[in-house]
Amino acid sequence: MVHAEILLTLGSLFLVGLLADVAGRHSPLPRVTLLLVAGFVIGPSVLGWLPDMTNQWFPLLTDIALAMIGFLLGGRFTRQNLARLGRSVLAISSAVVIGTVLIMASVLIVFGVAPPLALLLGGIATATAPAATVDVVREIDAQGPFTDTLLGIVAIDDAWGLILFSLLLAFAQALYGHGGALGSLLFGLQDVLGAVVLGALAGVPLAYLTGRIRPGEPTQAEALGAVLVVAGLAQLLHVSSILTAIVLGTVVANLAKHHERPFHAIEGIEWPFLILFFLLAGASLQVEGLAETGVLAAGYIVLRVIGRVLGTGVGGWLAGTPVAMRRWMGVALLPQAGIALGMALLAAQRFPELRDTIVPVVLVSTVVFELLGPVATRRALVRMGEAGDVRDTGA
């Protein structure tokens, strides 16, 4: 009976994911948002259709999903990509990530939010939604220097954000687990440097193997096996699994002869895991938590907007970009999607006592930014005069 229940649950969740994918193609809401909502509805807060055993699946699925995401993001840090993106993209992307963290964390701390929680929310606020942004660009056939810069930024800023989030996560853990500043520093360095070393050591042999295994199923087994083994080792060594996966992807992308093969292999098998991940994430939400974090969620939304706008302004000024580009780039970078929730869920795993605060805040803000972010991106492209067939009405 237990096996039958597991099979029925998994099959039903995958079919719900299919329905969300179809619905996402015919509605303004992306499928990630629809999966979260569907998970919330079928979860214990509403219908209670999921068996209790799914609570035990969620931590494992979180680790798997984020390891895959980290590996794919690390693949963007190739020498060729960084050279192609240019000075303005690198300056703006790094400035907006750092600016968002500084503004979010500092203001929240001033208003009495505990420093570890403020740091975690600051790190999560750096995440964007590359898929939503690219979809808007394609929809209105946007072309021009502003569009090129925007696409370059969204191609790498989630990787910057995950790296910074890993550092903040380690520091937040140190604040909880160690009393002194020296202990906090050593704990954070162990987490981060250990992840870098582990990812690099695993990446070299994987890069060597990748050029020697033919494409197809063998490559899928190779890539998935490597990512999961590295994620497991990171757990055993108590280092950042996300940062380890990013470093693994970066090393493979820069050293492998056929570096695109493992990334395509992971992309081909990632979605089923993400379906389960987002559905169970939605199911884990509590109505009480959503209601109690309304003020903090509103503050998070406002501060993230300010951080994006000021960060792109400073980065654009340092890179010498036109004033109009500085003014509208932050607006174009407002979309936020599933990576933010993945960060929130990882933080909730590390800090169970903060789960009922972090997850509802990020979920509410993600829904808001998923609804309004693409509209803001479209508006910025129109105002910059780079939308193909859309006329700016001045509204």
Q: What is the pLDDT of residue 93?
A: 87
Q: What is the dihedral of CA 301, 361, 75, 71, to 10 degrees?
A: 180
Q: How far apart are CA 388 and CA 169, in angstroms?
A: 42
On whether residue 205 sits in a domain, the answer given is: yes
Q: How confident is the model at residue 306 (pLDDT cuts 50, 70, 90)?
A: very high
> Considering the domain boundaries, does residue 277 fall inside one?
yes
Q: What pLDDT does residue 55 have?
A: 72
Domain region containing 102: 2-383
Would residue 260 count as lying in a domain?
A: yes
Residue 105 has pLDDT above 80, yes or no: yes
pLDDT at 257: 66
Task: Please check whether residue 393 lies inside any domain of the structure.
Answer: no
* Lowest-pLDDT range of 56-65, 118-127, 351-360: 56-65
Written as one letter, the residue type at 392 is D
Per the domain annotation, does 394 fall within a domain?
A: no
Per-residue model confidence as pLDDT tens digits over 253-269: 888 766 566 676 676 67
Q: So what's the pLDDT on residue 215?
A: 56
Q: Is residue 391 part of a domain?
A: no
Question: Tens digit of pLDDT for each residue in 208-246?
Answer: 776 565 655 556 777 788 888 988 998 888 787 778 888
| 286, burial (CB in 10 Å: exposed 0-12, middle 13-18, buried 19+) | middle
Number of domains in the chain: 1
Of 113-122, 143-152, 172-181, 274-283, give the range with the top mean pLDDT.
113-122
Distance, CA of 301 to CA of 305 (rounded, Å) = 6
Q: What is the CATH number of the domain that holds 340?
A: 1.20.1530.20
CA distance 68 to 266: 7
148: which residues sit within 8 A by CB, 6+ positions away? none
Tell me whether residue 388 is in a domain: no
Give per-residue pLDDT as tens, 266-295: 766 777 887 887 787 777 766 665 666 778
